[in-house]
Structure 1
């Protein structure tokens, strides 16, 4: 049994697919399949129920997967400790993020706090334009933002940007919506919908483009509070708009209470990533946090 086998097994358990795990880990499907077969043989227990529809982790193997994750987490911590050994990590780290980015950030914050008790955090949720302003004004150290990819050079001139994801705007509906069963949503399906929106320039531009296609969009309200939008989706059967990354870590999506749907209209590509002052790129605290964030995001 080795770390590679554990990593393969955890990725397959997370995606329920050897094909998807193969693409994520950049190894062949055969390599993953053979590694899991050897691992199951060594342990003397089946870890997955395999079929043409996927590879599903067995309930009886849950404790084993938990231990695999614990081992890999420990190894990752050792690697990070070795890289930053002798460097003091303390003080305050001021973080700001677009809606949807907070859950993954909290996981990284909790993980770092367990190791660096003297490190404190300040965390806020804002539109990308305000996050960028805070970074320039030195009111925040690190910001998770979303920008149209072809606007990055102009809007982030003089700043450092680390992209972590890309994609397009999605329409979000709750599970009881008539649109929930659709793989994608046609423009005419949105004419009678009530929208609740986060105050964000990308969302404003998207709604403007949508209005040019279907006429006036019925917007009930705009807010800077993502929990208010969450309540409106649940109670008012409203719909909202956001980048697909914004929905990925939300508990309601993981429980299938909400669904993010593709929209049948041309869109500009959006990039998600971390922005910071060039002068802070060498900060040990920031480098350590970005390492933690990347690791907890990949192992979610």
Structure 2
């Protein structure tokens, strides 16, 4: 049983004519008769009485007509939904973002995206880089934007910008020491860090190990916090020192509430990445947002 057979059946039933039903479906009358014959063969019962009154539904035909109308209506609704999806009308696009991309990068291009595609609603789920990629793999989101490179054959990553990670502290703490911090001092000062799934923290630990042969265990970590904003607020309170994205404290650096300390031999630069499932087709809305994020 095919949709075409059902469409021909309904057209004949409504017009009470094989010729008019065939004409409505742009087929010959003999082809229409073959479609109906196929249905009757499959169902094992006649659907039409052919006589002087035209093609009239049998009792079985009336029952079949009632159900087929519902099926065809559902099919048209489905076509309409897909047309809206392709045309990006009344579409919800769910993406995931780690702290810096979700707080700074996405808002920077949001106006452009909304302006170009006003009928797409963007929903951003924030977490650390690991949790974002996990959501992507589980297909809970269609795109992810993270603060580091992660090897996974299920994911395709594309670079979309660079960030500098600096070592910062409050005015009060800076007053107690020089703006330079040696390796030995770094291992003694009270340190505020992000959770292990953070792209920022991953970049920090890798740079410390490579440039200064300092491991996580060498550091005096006094608190593990779950966001850049939490780190920032703790810095402002003078709670400790922290490696942070320069983006996340740019205003505080400019107005003198926080200061950058220099650690000789250490410079930390990391890239942001857009992530998608490998070898999977993106929805039209996701493809457009991917292009905006990776081209900006």
Distance in 1 (CA, whole Å) between partners of 2:276 and 2:143 is 5
Q: 1:225 to 1:266 in 2, by over 3 A?
A: closer
In 1, are the aligned partners of 2:274 and 2:293 still within 8 Å (CA)?
no
In 1, are the aligned partners of 2:187 and 2:219 still within 8 Å (CA)?
yes
Deviation at 1:213, TM superposition (A): 6.3
Counterpart of 1:112? 113
Q: 1:274 to 1:93 in 2, by over 3 A?
A: same
Larger Rg: 2
In 1, are the aligned partners of 2:166 and 2:268 still within 8 Å (CA)?
no
SS of the aligned residue for 1:95 comes to strand
| Aligned residue-pair number | 204
Distance in 1 (CA, whole Å) between partners of 2:250 and 2:129 is 19
Q: 1:90 to 1:241 in 2, by over 3 A?
A: farther
1:236 aligns with 2:238: yes
Distance in 2 (CA, whole Å) between partners of 1:216 and 1:171 is 17
Distance in 1 (CA, whole Å) between partners of 2:117 and 2:176 is 43
Counterpart of 1:224? 226
Counterpart of 1:145? 146
Distance in 2 (CA, whole Å) between partners of 1:123 and 1:255 is 30
In 1, are the aligned partners of 2:160 and 2:293 still within 8 Å (CA)?
no
Distance in 2 (CA, whole Å) between partners of 1:184 and 1:276 is 41
TM-score, length of structure 1 as denominator length: 0.54
Distance in 2 (CA, whole Å) between partners of 1:180 and 1:104 is 35
Deviation at 1:87, TM superposition (A): 4.0
Give deviations 1:37-76, integer Å, cap 9, x for gaps.
xxxxxxxxxxxxxxxxxxxxxxxxxxxxxxxxxxxxxxxx
Distance in 1 (CA, whole Å) between partners of 2:161 and 2:115 is 27
Distance in 2 (CA, whole Å) between partners of 1:137 and 1:241 is 31
Deviation at 1:229, TM superposition (A): 1.5
Give deviations 1:244-297, integer Å, cap 9, x for gaps.
5xx3685434555445555435689743211111355543212322343356x5
Deviation at 1:165, TM superposition (A): 3.1
User: Which of 183, 189, 194 is the matching residue for 1:193?
Assistant: 189
Counterpart of 2:6? none
Give deviations 1:103-125, integer Å, cap 9, x for gaps.
22123223322443322222233
Counterpart of 1:277? 277
Deviation at 1:224, TM superposition (A): 1.7
Matches within 5 A, 1:26-45: none
Give deviations 1:211-252, integer Å, cap 9, x for gaps.
8469742222112233222210111242222455xx368543
Deviation at 1:93, TM superposition (A): 1.9
Matches within 5 A, 1:175-186: 175-178=171-174, 185-186=181-182
Q: Which moved more, 1:181-190 or 1:235-244?
A: 181-190
| Structure 2 gap segments, 5+ residues each | 1-85
TM-score, length of structure 2 as denominator length: 0.55
Deviation at 1:134, TM superposition (A): 0.9
| Structure 1 gap segments, 5+ residues each | 1-85
